[in-house]
Amino acid sequence: MHAGPSGERSEEPAPAPGPRRPIIAIFNSSNDTVDLLRTVLESEGFHTVVGHIPDVKSGELDLVGFIEHHVPTVIVYDISPPYEANWTFLRLVRNLEPLQGCRFVLTTTNKPALDKLVGETDALEIIGKPYDLQLVVHAVRNALA
């Protein structure tokens, strides 16, 4: 016996939990971009967790502990200026043992500038327009496939 949605008792078994929604970690420096990405990804059925890149760099957020706790399926990671330094930081992050098997979707606000500094990347250029956000959703779905 279990309580129904309005609190009434029922002899039917409790509904089985649905399939686990993929966990998508969003790492970005901009609160506004985090909110946009979180909203669009959650509207598409994903569960999101957020880490702010400056908190990771300062040591305020333990990245390894965050990843081990949340176990994201995909990490949406933004590369912001200064591009070369942040690209180097990303390379270090990707080499951390708990992140080596993680799939990444990279974003930036200026792909030509990033590519000029570090060579051709698969980063998605997003500037907050709905089309840009749908590119991220598509990239996350591809990373899950």
Give the CATH number, domain containing residue 121.
3.40.50.2300
Residue 8 lies in a domain: no
pLDDT at 23: 95
Looking at residue 132, its pLDDT comes to 80
Instruction: Report if residue 38 sits inside a domain.
Output: yes
Q: Model-level pTM?
A: 0.81
Strand partners of residue 108? 125
Gyration radius of the chain's alpha carbons: 18
With respect to residue 114, please indicate whether it lies within any of the assigned structural domains: yes
Structural domain for 107, as ranges: 21-144
- Signed CA dihedral, 38, 40, 42, 46: sign only: negative
Does residue 9 lie within any of the structural domains? no
Question: What is the rounded CA–CA span in Å between residue 55 and residue 82?
Answer: 16
Per-10-residue mean pLDDT of the chain, 145 residues long, equals 47 54 93 92 96 93 93 93 90 88 91 90 79 89 93
Q: What is the largest CA-CA distance in the chain?
A: 65
**Does 59 reside within a domain?**
yes
Residues 83 and 118 sit within 8 Å (Cβ to Cβ): yes
Number of domains in the chain: 1
Measured between alpha carbons, how far is 30 from 88 in angstroms, rounded to an integer? Answer: 19
Q: Is there a domain that residue 2 lies in?
A: no
Q: How many CA atoms lie within 13 Å of 74's alpha carbon, on the beta-carbon side?
A: 22
Alpha-helical runs (H) found in the chain: 31-43, 53-58, 63-70, 83-94, 111-118, 130-144
Closest CA to 143 of 104, 98, 87: 104
